[in-house]
Structure 1
Amino acid sequence: MQLQQTATQVLRGFLMGSADIVPGVSGGTVALVLGIYGRLVAAIRSVVAAMASLARADLPEAGRRLRAVPWVWLLALLGGVGAAILLLAALLERLLEQHPEPMAGLFFGLIVGAVVISWRLVRRVTWSSLVLTGLVAAAFFLLLGLQESTHAEGTELATRPWWAFFLAGAVAICAMILPGISGSFILLMLGMYTEVLGAVDDRNLPVLLAFLAGAAVGLASFSTLLSWLLEHYHDTVLAVLIGLMLGSLRILWPWPDGLESTTLGLPDGGPVLLPLALAAVGLLAVLGVEAVGERRGVSAPPRRG
């Protein structure tokens, strides 16, 4: 029975990991659909609290909190996430290299779907939140235009220094506890998405360890702050996130070079219908995941209407 439960948890982790490497679909969203989101957040908070107790040299309290962590459950889940990333990163990297416009179209639809879901999570729409979303979207759209390329040209290898992977991991991990945004989306914004994919595919252990160390530090440092912000400034945080997602669509516009460029253009001899069709598929996929969660009656953050 225990083996079956562990295998089920690994499968859940694999589904979450598969979602984590696709911008716009977060592992947290999949956890919500699977009905394990609340337990996952509680386990993460228990680990962070235990680490904080260790830092204060409060060993009895740290031991008590560590014993409260469902380690078999959590490690099986994380094992599934890691397996999905290792197995699927190479495939996704090849698709991005060989079919940049269609893949950009798919991601475009995924992000639009995430925007729709995030907008529905806003509890009370005000003019100030609308203005904030618009300003953030415009500012980020223009900021992205300052760089023509999102990664080193002609390569999918890890070309950035180790500290860039550390910082990327620290920031991207915060998406685990933010509704409507994924870690892969954060990496896209930072221009580190293909870099991390390349590092995973090439088993570049030094930079991967730097990325994981950054993720651990980021989770420990920001989880409490982000939870507090969402509790006290829920709609403001969502307004900023929605603005960032809207602004990031500049990267995901399929033409002329997919994710490799922030330059905007019209189709010029390349595929047109396929990127548009995949954008629709991406949008429907994200909305479908949410609909499945609603039909299952899984608890979700409060929403309007």
Structure 2
Amino acid sequence: MPRNLKDYLLISLKGMGMGAADVVPGVSGGTIAFITGIYEELINSIKSINGSAIKLILQLKIKDFWKAINGNFLSALTFGIFVSFLSLAKLIKYFLAEQPILIWSFFFGLIVASAIVIAKKITEWKLRTIIALFLGIAIAYFVTVVTPAETPSSYWFLFLSGALAICAMILPGISGAFILLLLGKYEFILNAISSFKLDVIAIVGAGAVIGLLSFSNLLSWLLKKYHNMTIALLAGFMIGSLNKVWPWKETVSTFIDRHGIEKPLLQANILPNTFEQILGQDSELIFAIVLAIAGFLLIWIMEKFSPESKSN
């Protein structure tokens, strides 16, 4: 059925939701696409940007090319994503600096709810599915423990970071921002976006485009051939990643970055009361619990009223 302007505005709003999800290291844009009923169309549209589509451009058949790649859908969605990126980057940067406990608590709730939403998509629990779940948990936990805080800022690494982050963005379960966090490039790229550093944005963007085009076919194949195992692995990855976003941490060691600023190198998760005893700061436990519940309910409500849930 042909879409009208209202339909494309709604797609842009869903894109804004995806962008908002991937700005924060909490829930993935792929999860938002999944629970708002556009995931399959998104993957198929990205897959359609292939050799045949490029051939249409070379033949100057622009209208046919646009139709082949579902251009109206992709452009409306992309617009919404970039609006979120540009508008939320400074806001998230502010909260990470000024209210880290509260915002990490909100992210914690987002991830817990997202893991549950993703796990509900598993249609049959077999031994291999359970193994995939625990493998995902183990891999994610291990990565959060061993990832260094400082990584190169050269163009090749920024290109790689963009490619890996965008792949995570279309996965229903892994946050692109969380991948950047693990790679030590989350704040760096967030600062680049908020200050419009065009060279960094261009390199990361180029990596994102290449990664997106090359990964969409693999993802589609995995979900078709090994759907339950793939979903279980992604759910496990999210559960294991909770170690990274636990709000209360004790800094074990620090390092001086290239700008001469002292930053945490190794941090250990601690309980709220231990946080107050060691650091002499308010753990903000009540507000943290409220925000964690709010994050959980946000995903639960979105899933509850998604087109897929209504159809079921």
Could you tell me the TM-score, scaled by structure 2's length? 0.79
* Cα distance, 1:50 vs structure 2: 4.2
Q: Unaligned stretches of 5+ in structure 1?
A: 153-158, 300-305
**Does 108-117 or 24-33 show the bigger shift?**
24-33
Change (3 A) 1:7 1:234: closer
Distance of 1:178 and 1:263 partners within structure 2: 28
1:25-69 Cα deviation digits (max 9, x unpaired): 333443445544444333322224545658xx9858998444423
**Does 223-232 or 251-260 show the bigger shift?**
251-260
* Cα distance, 1:182 vs structure 2: 3.0
| Correspondence for 1:204 | 197
| Correspondence for 2:297 | 284
Greater strand share, 1 or 2? 2
* Cα distance, 1:232 vs structure 2: 0.6
| Correspondence for 2:166 | 173
**Letter of the structure 1 residue corresponding to residue 203 of structure 2:** A
* Cα distance, 1:94 vs structure 2: 0.3
For the pair 1:231 / 2:224, whether they are aligned, the reply is: yes
Q: Unaligned stretches of 5+ in structure 2?
A: 252-262, 277-281
Equivalent position to 1:265, from 239, 262, 270: 270
Distance of 1:2 and 1:121 partners within structure 2: 31
Could you tell me the TM-score, scaled by structure 1's length? 0.81
| Correspondence for 2:238 | 245
| Correspondence for 1:14 | 16
Change (3 A) 1:119 1:262: farther
* Cα distance, 1:217 vs structure 2: 0.5
Identity %: 36
Kept in 1, the 8 Å contact 2:43–2:216? The answer is: no
> For residues 65-76 of structure 1, what are the structure 2 equivalents within 5 Å?
65-76=65-76
Kept in 2, the 8 Å contact 1:23–1:188? The answer is: yes
**Letter of the structure 2 residue corresponding to residue 195 of structure 1:** F
| Correspondence for 1:122 | 122
| Correspondence for 1:134 | 134
Change (3 A) 1:101 1:257: farther
Change (3 A) 1:25 1:98: same
SS at structure 2 position matched to 1:263: strand
SS at structure 1 position matched to 2:232: helix
Kept in 2, the 8 Å contact 1:101–1:254? The answer is: yes
Change (3 A) 1:143 1:105: same
* Cα distance, 1:253 vs structure 2: 0.8
> For residues 133-172 of structure 1, what are the structure 2 equivalents within 5 Å?
133-147=133-147, 150=149, 160-172=153-165
